[in-house]
Structure 1
Amino acid sequence: MRSVPTAVAIFLLALPAAPAALAGEPVDSAQAVIERQIDAFLHDDATAAYSFASPTIREKFPDETSFFDMVKRGYGPVYRPGNFAFGRSKVSGGTVLQEVLITGSDGKDWTLIYQVVRQPDGSYKINGVHMQPAAPGSDI
């Protein structure tokens, strides 16, 4: 009988941590999708890269070739990043806004805001990217 109270105590101790773990899940999921899409671009895998696009993006670019060409032409730092890091994020309902700091292959720094939306099946898809040159920071 002693094992039951111990099990209950362990369960109760775990409860306060559960909401915190769930709070990070949308951001973790969005970041994973972004990383996987960038990896697909780096490997010239148009099929994989296109698989992370939301239905809204797929309406605008109905096949992986047109999508891949658009990214190559308009989002060079995403297509061929020198490196990247995640910045701030914001969750609102089923949407994650994720800041990504990217250095393009030409050495220029960019700040991107990804809009990643939760789909009816629970997955997350990239619904848009706003890209702007990064403002220079102060000298160290």
Structure 2
Amino acid sequence: MRKIGTLFIATFFSLVCVIVAVAASADEIANEDAAAFQEIITSQIKAFQVDNADAAFAFATPKLQEIFRSPENFISMVKQGYAPVYRPKSFEFGPAELKNGQPTQIVTIVGPKGTLWAALYTFEQQSNGNWRISGVYLVKRPGAAT
């Protein structure tokens, strides 16, 4: 009887370890997806820097495109509310991770006035497998850039 109990406990413990390992790996962002996020963000920022509203708008999800209705409306909103993204002095990628279940790329941005920002870019995978930006959340960080 004792061997059966020990075997049961060992099997149960092994099963729990496998479940935890699978759950942990499900929360990770694949390297190729993180690379895609960084390429998309870089391309959109480059489009903003030359005021290419059409190119910048193309990186947004269909839902965002529906909300803003035109590239001109979209870039106007970015100019007014997202100056650090619109005209960054510099930016550096941090980790890509799931935040509240959404794939998120963290970016440190030095804004046009030298202010440090954390930009959290959220992404949505489209039916064709491509990623698009579903939102950007800016958080001012203490200190100034050097």
Report if TM-score (shorter chain) is over 0.5: yes
Letter in 1 for 2:130: S
- Measure the CA separation in 1 of the matches of 2:132 and 2:40: 7
What pairs up with 1:45-56 in 2 under 5 angstroms?
45-56=52-63
Letter in 2 for 1:123: N
The aligned counterpart of 1:23 is 30
Question: Contact 2:88/2:110 (CA < 8 Å) preserved in 1?
Answer: yes
The answer to whether structure 1 residue 35 and structure 2 residue 28 are counterparts is no
Q: Which one has a bigger Cα radius of gyration? A: 2
- Number of matched pairs: 115
Give the CA deviation at 1:36: 0.4
Structure 1 residues 29, 95: closer, same or farther in 2, change over 3 A?
Answer: farther
Question: Contact 1:95/1:118 (CA < 8 Å) preserved in 2?
Answer: no
Say which SS state the counterpart of residue 44 (structure 1) adopts.
coil
- Measure the CA separation in 2 of the matches of 1:123 and 1:95: 15
The gaps in structure 2 that reach 5 residues or longer are 1-28
Identity of aligned residues (%): 38
- Measure the CA separation in 2 of the matches of 1:95 and 1:29: 15
Give the CA deviation at 1:23: 2.5
The gaps in structure 1 that reach 5 residues or longer are 1-21
The answer to whether structure 1 residue 130 and structure 2 residue 116 are counterparts is no
- Measure the CA separation in 1 of the matches of 2:133 and 2:123: 4
Question: Contact 1:116/1:128 (CA < 8 Å) preserved in 2?
Answer: yes
The aligned counterpart of 1:108 is 115
- Measure the CA separation in 2 of the matches of 1:25 and 1:95: 16
Question: Contact 2:91/2:108 (CA < 8 Å) preserved in 1?
Answer: yes
User: TM-score when scaled to structure 1?
Assistant: 0.77
Would you identify which runs of 4 or more consecutive aligned residues in structure 1 move more than 4 Å?
none
Question: Contact 2:93/2:106 (CA < 8 Å) preserved in 1?
Answer: yes
Question: Contact 2:115/2:143 (CA < 8 Å) preserved in 1?
Answer: no
- Measure the CA separation in 2 of the matches of 1:57 and 1:100: 20
Say which SS state the counterpart of residue 56 (structure 1) adopts.
helix
